[in-house]
Amino acid sequence: MTRYENPALTVDAVWIRRGRVLLVRRGRPPFVGQWAFPGGFVELRETVESAVVRELHEETGLSARPVGIVGVYSGPDRDPRKPTATVAFRMRGRGGPPHGRDDAREAAWVPLGEVGPLAFDHGRILKDALALERRRRRARSG
């Protein structure tokens, strides 16, 4: 039987609410101590949609649902552990105070104007999510 080496599938939760974005401070390598989106690896027999809901809850204690896709991001160097492909979802929910759990040392609603460098390629994902939000607002008002 032929054995293929494939990238790992991951998900990221991009939740922007009231001028803030939900981020977690990583508690494990890589990028220990840096801010990132809640997210992680998709488990066997799990959809990407259920994985992003699970990861968000595991890392922040919050519940939300995916309402759209920001994009799919891939590449051999986006994660130093191994090649990955991620589906970044826009999330919606009730909000509330997040609590860093699982492999997140801390979780917080960070004002968009105060977001510094993010782990992985999450800065690019945030930029794309904000551009998507601007396009959606223009379409609604136009």
- Tell me if 114 is assigned to some domain: yes
Cα–Cα distance, 80 to 132 (Å, whole number): 28
Which domain, by its residues, includes 103?
A: 8-141
Section 20-30 average pLDDT: 97
Mean pLDDT over 99-120 rounds to 96
**Is 106 annotated in the active site?**
yes
Higher pLDDT, 142 or 22: 22
Does residue 3 lie in a domain region? no
In a domain, 14, yes or no: yes
19: CATH: 3.90.79.10
The pLDDT, as a whole number, for residue 5 is 87
Question: Which residue among the candidates 5, 49, 58, 106 is catalytic per the annotation?
Answer: 106
Average pLDDT of span 108-136: 97
The answer to whether residue 59 is domain-embedded is yes
Q: What pLDDT was estimated at residue 4? A: 86
Write down the residue that tokens 């801390």 correspond to.
Answer: 106
Kindly state whether residue 64 falls inside one of the protein's structural domains. yes
Q: What is the 3-state secondary structure (H, E, C) of 14-66?
A: ECEECCEEEEEEECCCCCCCCEECCEEECCCCCCHHHHHHHHHHHHHCCCEEE
27-73: per-residue pLDDT in tens? 999 999 999 999 999 999 999 999 999 999 999 999 999 999 999 99
Is 2 part of any domain? Answer: no
Number of domains in the chain: 1
Euclidean distance between CA atoms 11 and 1, whole angstroms: 29
pTM for this one?
Answer: 0.94
Query: Looking at residue 3, what is its pLDDT?
Result: 87
Q: Is residue 45 assigned to a domain?
A: yes
Q: Is there a domain that residue 1 lies in?
A: no
- Structure tokens given for 86: 């991620």
Supply the pLDDT for residue 127: 98
**142: pLDDT strictly greater than 80:** no
Predicted confidence at residue 141, as pLDDT, reads 86
